[in-house]
Structure 1
């Protein structure tokens, strides 16, 4: 009987040892789990919200299910979130890691000093397998807040065209924020904002702490804007944070011209082998000076087209110049109508051109006209002589 009791006691003891060993083996060891962050100590302003990324790593080849706890100083709030949910437990696969967002909120009227927030990971038995201390120094610091910058704050262009600026916006408030975008510009000017090179227009943008984004800012002048320099101020605002950036649009003027003949006619007569002079009128109808103007022609082969002058240095706004064009068809040109194209153009960054279409009627030579007239007279006289002789008979 006593032997049976001893055997039973030994079996119970062995079973208890097996259960304890299973629990011990199932529990994560301190060497198998790590909690880390890239910023274990930070300095913030009083009342500033804090967002950090905490990373949980499983260094073993087994699955680990861990409970998470966060302890903070009295009056402080600290939560672990992922995808909008509060995280209480996490399961990690073999050699897996999981980032979790840690949000820390200071109490109102917090005193300057050093505070510690502790993140703990516990196994199924409630044992702490790893912990992370985050040290927060509350001090009167001045974070940069929002920054706006550009490498090209001044752009030059002709009237009637939009100006495009590339501006970098950085959120250095230490918090994830919605940032409003606005502007100050001359009357009837419009300014639009687009993210990067997208076509979507925005008036606000959501940015994480420390994030940098490129904005495309399109400035469209008023249709009545004269040549000159204009200032545009771009504003980025989020709560108490605000940053401005001054941009400059330089309108150099409109560049347009009109090309016509002095009498307004677009058709003319030109005898074979003889030069006919046509006077062109070039008018500067824009607000900018037309510079380095030249002329060219396109017409039938063998024709001689000359311009006097053939180049003009400058035509001021609201003024006109006259150019004499000599048109000489070949001596053997067949009489009839021909098309002649004349183009006036300027060179440089604000080049413009204007083309005029002329219809030229080529007339036969006067010599052949006189010969024809003599032949007609001879024929008529011959007929008169024949009728006179026949009448006498």
Structure 2
């Protein structure tokens, strides 16, 4: 063991040194590839091998572009995009978000363009021009974003409040709002509820045949609380669902004891006290 340990330690140090040299070389190669020399005589350009991307409104349209500076001097290019209303663009270089990029003379820089659509944008093909502008140089890249339709549904109340009070043995009417918050119509939407045991829930209407994009529909949920329900908080989960989308709303209901039940309880207590007093008066003297 006293002989092998120094040898093992020696090779361990050599391995660490070789690994450090390899890592340094890899980082240097990465930095060199960030701006690669262009072919002699090439003119400045802004190009992408993929200019047409199809995605849903919830996804990101991503394009890999190459910005070439064919001039004899370094230039800073400002990156911009002409977007549909409500859309957003992000430019990335070497993994960092940028709004402009410095390109050395006769070299090119890779730029990633990310587009995000507005959730309620209509399914269609959108033409989006992207420009890289510097002093005396304006380069344009024309991109296409094909937006697919999407399904989405929301279930809430007109005020957003999801709690209320109810008296045991009574019925409570709750106003709900079903909203299509996507770009495709919703068909055959069913309304259901998961309520505490022995509670009864009915809906008006109980089924929505069709709900167009960005449209809403008012729904009444009638909640029947059984007699003698113990006072406290209870949760009922309402659901709006079809084959393509689902939405839930957890509604907290605080059950209170009725006034009549309270008076009956007090009367029973008074009768019990009176009975005890009578028994004491009658049998206490014996």
State the TM-score, normalized to the length of structure 2: 0.53
- Alignment-derived partner of residue 110 in structure 2: 213
Q: Does 1:305 align with 2:202?
A: no
- Within 5 Å, give how 1:278-293 maps onto structure 2: 278-285=172-179, 287-288=181-182, 292-293=189-190
> Which structure has more helix as a fraction of its residues?
2
Structure 2 match to 1:167: 63
Equivalent in the alignment of 2:284: none
Q: Does 1:343 align with 2:241?
A: no
Figure out how many residues of one structure are paired with residues of the other and give that number. Answer: 223
| CA deviation map 1:100-155 (0-9, x unaligned) | x999988xxxxxxxxxxxxxxxxxxxxxxxxxxxxxxxxxxx99954314487132
- Alpha-carbon RMSD: 5.2
Question: Aligned-pair distance for 1:319?
Answer: 1.7
- Is the radius of gyration larger for structure 1 or structure 2? 1
How far residue 215 of structure 1 moved from its aligned partner, in angstroms, is 0.6
Q: 2:253 aligns with which of 348, 358, 363?
A: 358
Q: In 2 relative to 1, CA 282–149 (structure 1 residues): closer, same or farther, beyond 3 Å?
A: farther
Q: Does 1:153 align with 2:47?
A: no
Residue of structure 1 in register with 2:99 after alignment: 202
After TM superposition, the score normalised by the length of structure 1 is: 0.41
The alpha carbon displacement at 1:175 in A equals: 7.8
The aligned runs of 1:169-248 (5 Å cut-off) are 169-170=65-66, 181-187=79-85, 189-195=87-93, 197-198=95-96, 200-204=97-101, 206=103, 213=110, 215-219=112-116, 221=118, 227-229=122-124, 231-237=126-132, 239=137, 242-248=140-146
CA distance in 1, matches of 2:217, 2:39: 71
SS at match of 1:266: strand
* Match runs of 1:60-79 below 5 Å: none
Matched, 1:266 2:164: yes
1:20-53 per-residue CA deviation (whole Å, 9 max, x = no partner) reads xxxxxxxxxxxxxxxxxxxxxxxxxxxxxxxxxx
Which deviations, in whole Å up to 9, do the C-alpha atoms of 1:183-204 show, x marking residues without a partner?
2222464423122643x22233
Unaligned runs of 5+ in 2: 1-35, 279-286
SS in 1 for 2:168: strand
Whole-Å separation in 2 of the counterparts to 1:306 and 1:164: 44
Relative distance call for 1:363 and 1:245 in structure 2 (3 A) is same
Unaligned runs of 5+ in 1: 1-100, 107-141, 384-393
Q: State how far apart, in whole Å, the 2-side matches of 1:305 and 1:326 are.
A: 6
Mapping for residues 105-144 of structure 1, pairs under 5 Å = none
